[in-house]
Amino acid sequence: AQTVTQSQPEMSVQEAETVTLSCTYDTSESNYYLFWYKQPPSRQMILVIRQEAYKQQNATENRFSVNFQKAAKSFSLKISDSQLGDTAMYFCAFLRGNGANSKLTFGKGITLSVRP
């Protein structure tokens, strides 16, 4: 079974600064995907970024980038130039890549507050 661990329950960052959210996972699978989802107060889960395990290059989406360390089973999210709209809960998630399932395993989440 897969597990996803987010050990920091809360973080705070000043607007325009950079923050890094940590995530570790455990799996015996070699083919998988990793995701960061954002859940603002509206409760809508929004995909922020995804990483395929077979890709060595770290994924980047505008101000969001990941540091994927496959051997260490670490998958952190860096948010640059933080904005007030980034205030939300962030979830790290794992998906087996066998194409025969869509079951996501989530971490407990981290509450990020961006201060003006």
Partner 1 sequence: KAGVTQTPRYLIKTRGQQVTLSCSPISGHRSVSWYQQTPGQGLQFLFEYFSETQRNKGNFPGRFSGRQFSNSRSEMNVSTLELGDSALYLCASSLAGTGEAFFGQGTRLTVV
Out of 10, 16, 46, 83, the only residue in the binding site for partner 1 (CB under 8 A) is: 46
Cβ 75 vs Cβ 66: under 8 Å: yes
Q: Which of 45, 63, 70, 78 binds partner 1 (CB under 8 A)?
A: 45
99 binds partner 1 (CB under 8 A): yes
How is residue 16 written in tokens? 């325009």
Q: Based on the shown chain and the rule CB under 8 A, indicate whether residue 50 belongs to the binding site for partner 1.
A: yes
- Asked if 36 contacts 48 with a C-beta cutoff of 8 angstroms, the reply is yes
- Tokens found for residue 36: 């960061």
Q: Which of 42, 56, 57, 62 binds partner 1 (CB under 8 A)?
A: 42
- Contacts with 15 (C-beta within 8 Å, 6 or more apart), sequence order: 82, 83, 84, 114, 115, 116
Residue 95, interface with partner 1 (CB under 8 A)? yes
Binding site for partner 1 (CB under 8 A): 33, 35, 37, 42-47, 50, 52, 91, 95, 97, 99-109
